[in-house]
């Protein structure tokens, strides 16, 4: 799964899963464009300390002009784009469906759904002439479990799952593969801040009770699948969904 010479854009790369994906792709030789609304200094420092190559770009994926500028910067710096990991997302709050404000609903849809679409639109015109590209859209295991009190987030991630299937067919014959990753509840700072400590601990125990592998999911548990989907090893796979959650949902 050698990615030497490839260029990968990872959105939401400042911390958590996005940082882990960036580090994993860099370890396999990819040059990284770390994109986030937050500063990616820590991610860049860790990649460069390990001998990798990376740049940071400030991007609000819900803004088309931002995502177009992101793609332009990647090409200006590295000359191409081979991989896109659509990881940027808003988690929202654990709250009853009728307590979600219209503004919160709209913002989650803008980032999680429109943001994924914007990033795909920005990179595909660059991938097409290359005759090859890998797009990895990050959905969520909540779409299989129908997690309650999280309707805005689950709905948005269901849309990412559907977008992937349709886009993969639209890109037939281009050499661009589009697949989805559905992580389980992963121990990141963002995930641990969804609710108060007691509620989070109850949630963790409930999830562990459903999993076949009896430990909490860590960011590193997902990196191997991301590298595989970014590499030539997955050239005959498109329009598919990879569920990585310790067997919590059997998909």
The topology (CATH level 3) of 7-185+223-241 is Rossmann fold (3.40.50)
The percent of residues above 90 in pLDDT, for the chain, comes to: 82
Confidence of residue 93 (pLDDT cuts 50, 70, 90): confident
C-alpha span between 13 and 104 (Å, rounded): 22
Give catalytic residue positions.
153
pLDDT digits (tens, 9 = 90+) for 150-172: 999 999 999 999 999 999 999 99
pLDDT digits (tens, 9 = 90+) for 192-220: 666 677 777 877 888 888 889 998 888 99
C-alpha span between 85 and 74 (Å, rounded): 14
CA angle 241, 28, 38 (to 5 degrees): 75
Confidence of residue 247 (pLDDT cuts 50, 70, 90): very high
Q: Where are the domains of the chain?
A: 7-185+223-241
Token pair listed for 245: 């959650």
Confidence (pLDDT) at 188: 75
Confidence of residue 190 (pLDDT cuts 50, 70, 90): confident
Token pair listed for 134: 């890998």
Q: Is 42 helix (H, G, I), strand (E, B) or coil?
A: helix
For residue 131, with 0-12 CB atoms within 10 Å meaning exposed, 13-18 middle and 19 or more buried, which class applies? exposed
């Amino acid at each position: 799964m050698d990615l030497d010479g490839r260029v990968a854009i990872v959105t939401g790369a400042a911390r958590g899963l996005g940082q882990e994906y960036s580090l994993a792709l860099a370890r396999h030789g990819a040059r990284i464009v770390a994109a986030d609304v937050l500063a990616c200094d820590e991610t860049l420092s860790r990649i460069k300390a390990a001998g990798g190559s990376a740049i940071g770009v400030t991007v609000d994926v819900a803004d088309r002009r931002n995502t177009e500028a992101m793609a332009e910067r990647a090409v200006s710096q590295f000359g191409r784009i081979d991989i896109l990991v659509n990881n940027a997302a808003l988690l929202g709050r654990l709250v009853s469906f009728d307590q979600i404000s219209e503004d919160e609903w709209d913002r989650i849809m803008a980032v999680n759904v429109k943001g994924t679409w914007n990033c795909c639109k920005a990179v595909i015109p660059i991938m097409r002439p290359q005759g090859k590209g890998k797009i990895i859209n990050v959905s969520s295991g909540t779409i299989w479990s129908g997690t309650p009190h999280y309707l805005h987030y689950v709905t948005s991630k269901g849309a990412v799952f559907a977008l992937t299937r349709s886009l993969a067919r639209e890109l037939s014959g281009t050499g661009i593969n589009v697949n989805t990753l559905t992580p389980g509840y992963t121990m990141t700072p963002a995930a641990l801040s969804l609710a108060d400590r007691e509620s989070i601990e109850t949630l963790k125990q409930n999830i562990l009770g459903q999993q076949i592998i009896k430990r909490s999911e860590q960011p590193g548990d997902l990196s191997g699948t991301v590298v595989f989907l970014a590499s030539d090893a997955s050239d005959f796979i498109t329009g598919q969904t990879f569920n990585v959650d310790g067997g919590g949902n059997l998909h």
